[in-house]
């Protein structure tokens, strides 16, 4: 069975990716299985560069098929911030709670209808020899006036989907697994992986 390393230490992200790729015939590992792997500094100018850097660094180190993923939240009223700084919006090592609190502070006084936002996800597949593909997905919504729900992670309690009248934090995980930015990107990853695995044998 082919091994696929997910270049992340984020348990929430890893859980979602495992779930979305569960029907593929691959053994999924992560950076926790490679404690000596080099630490990747996310210094790209956009999500795609960061995803590619993660995947390429770990693929070169291990010689194995690697998925690098970078995602975040863009809020229109804030000039698409936090963007690539989503995980450290409230400072390096910030918790989800602190990031969410900062986002609400920055949007204080902005009415719901002007709180348009989108989650974006870029995923890069690299093996020991080449870049296989870089794909993306996005999901549009609004930033709620206060956090609701305990599902998901990151900004999920604030990311409101009008069609369901719920935040990602309240949404049934099965629905999120169909409509989220990560789901859309990983559905594309699946197609690429299936072709790649067939060619490998």
Cα 23-139-146 angle, rounded to 5 deg: 115
Task: Kindly indicate the confidence band of residue 1, based on its pLDDT and cuts at 50, 70 and 90.
Answer: confident
Q: Write out pLDDT tens, residues 118-164.
A: 999 999 999 988 999 999 999 999 999 999 999 989 999 999 999 99
- Read off the pLDDT of residues 23-65 as tens digits, 9 standing for 90 and up: 898 999 999 999 999 999 989 999 999 999 999 999 999 999 9
pLDDT in tens, 92-110: 989 999 999 999 999 999 9
Domains of the chain: 2-200 (3.90.950.10)
Alpha-carbon span 55 to 61, nearest angstrom: 10
pLDDT at 12: 85
What are the residue numbers of the active site?
70
Write the DSSP string, 34-97.
-TTSPPPP---SSHHHHHHHHHHHHHHHH-S-EEEEEEEEEEGGGTTEEGGGGGGTTSTT--HH
List the one residue out of 87, 94, 142 whose CA is nearest residue 114.
Answer: 142
Structure tokens at 122: 């870029």
Map residue 147 onto helix, strand or coil: coil
Tokens of 162: 């009008």
Q: Is 20 helix (H, G, I), strand (E, B) or coil?
A: helix
CA-CA distance, 19 to 145, in Å (whole number)?
A: 30
Whole-angstrom CA distances from 68 to 36, 62, 113, 162 are 17, 14, 34, 30
- pTM comes to 0.92
């Amino acid at each position: 069975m082919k091994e696929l390393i997910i270049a992340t230490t984020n348990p929430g992200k890893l859980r979602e990716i495992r779930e979305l790729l569960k029907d593929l015939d691959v053994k999924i590992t992560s950076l926790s299985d490679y404690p000596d792997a080099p630490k990747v500094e996310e210094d790209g100018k956009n999500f795609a560069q960061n995803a590619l850097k993660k995947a390429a660094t770990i693929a070169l180190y291990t010689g194995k098929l690697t998925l690098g993923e970078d995602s975040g939240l863009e809020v229109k009223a804030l000039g698409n911030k936090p963007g690539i700084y989503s995980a450290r919006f409230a400072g390096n090592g910030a918790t989800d709670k602190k990031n969410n609190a900062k986002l609400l502070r920055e949007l204080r006084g902005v009415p719901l209808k002007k709180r348009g936002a989108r989650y974006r996800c870029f995923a890069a597949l690299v093996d020991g020899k080449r870049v296989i593909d870089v794909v993306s997905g996005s999901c549009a919504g609004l930033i709620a006036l206060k956090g609701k729900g305990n599902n998901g992670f990151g900004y999920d309690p604030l990311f409101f989907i009008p069609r369901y009248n719920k935040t990602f934090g309240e949404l049934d995980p099965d629905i999120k697994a169909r409509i989220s930015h990560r789901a859309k990107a990983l559905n594309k990853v699946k197609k690429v992986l299936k072709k790649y695995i067939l060619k490998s044998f």
